[in-house]
Chains A and B, each alone.
Chain A
Amino acid sequence: MSDSVTKNPTREAVENPPERVVRKFRPRVDILETEAAYQLVADVPGASEDQVELSIEKSILTLSATIALPIFEGYEPACNDNVVRTWTRNVRLRDDIDRENIEATLRDGVLRVTLPKAKTSLRTTVPVKRAE
């Protein structure tokens, strides 16, 4: 039997893993709106605070994170998942956002970005006086 037939490329990859493969992912997000702010919620499991990056360029908010799957000494991945995952998501911001006061928190792999509305865009009630 020829060598090309007996070789199993997937098994070879498991036995001699190449350098870590980089795979790109698009995190799932929710976008919520209250009277005072918008909130972007994204799943970025495995990411710590220093692995998540948020940037704004013009009107685009970019969320990115790079997460390398752990390597356990003395253990081999049974599913050949020798992968570095990069998560990227772009969101177009509305003009009514107060960019100076954007806040982001990360807990249990969930990123929450609070985008407050600019005061000029908040709803105000104008009292109506009785005409004399």
Chain B
Amino acid sequence: MVSVNSVWNPWRELEAIRRDLADARFTGRRCGFEGGDAPLFNVYTGEAGVILTTKLPGIDPESLEVSVEKDVLTVRAKREETIAEDTRVLLRERCDLRLDQQFRLPFVPVPEKTEAVYEHGVLTVRLTRPEVEKPQRIVVQVKS
């Protein structure tokens, strides 16, 4: 499970660099999704909540499952490509994708304002922070 918060985490930075290198240099040898290896998620944080995006090209939208239980977000998806019998494979770098990942959020999101959009092979999940957990500005009373 991955914890989402806005605190800077140097290990996460290093991990993102390592995966980018693997993605760019070893195309075809690793897919980044199989065998429990988690896909890359981009996380955006703000006062209103958290947005997560991830690249899931060619996913059957019906296999996509996004759910929230208390402060845990679960994302499940899969891509299984079938190749016809009369087709010869000359090069195979793309692979079947299987994603089952959970994130612990820093708040319990508002269910009515939670939305997930899948467009151009990218999943975007928007989670809204409840009003009570939003940062409150406290007026400082100056007494002389």
Contacts and interface: CB of A to CB of B under 8 A. Distances in A.
Do A and B come together as binding partners? Answer: yes
B90 A32 contact: yes
A10 B55 contact: no
A74 B46 contact: yes
B129 to A, nearest CB: 11
Nearest to A36: B86
B45 A46 contact: no
Contacts of B5: 78
Interface string B17-59: 0001001100110010000000000111111100101011111
Nearest to B31: A28
A14 interface: yes
B24 A34 contact: no
Interface residues of B, dominant DSSP: mixed
Contact of B48 (A29, A47, A74, A81): A74
Contact of B91 (A30, A35, A43, A107): A30
B138 interface: no
B137 interface: no
Interface stretch (B6-14, B67-75, B107-115): B6-14
Interface residues of A, number: 39
Contacts of B94: 28-30, 41-43
Interface in A1-49: 10-11, 14, 23-26, 28-35, 38, 41-48
Contacts of A78: 4-6, 43-45
Nearest to B15: A79
Nearest to B42: A81
A57 interface: no
Contacts of A24: 24
Contact of A75 (B45, B87, B90, B121): B45
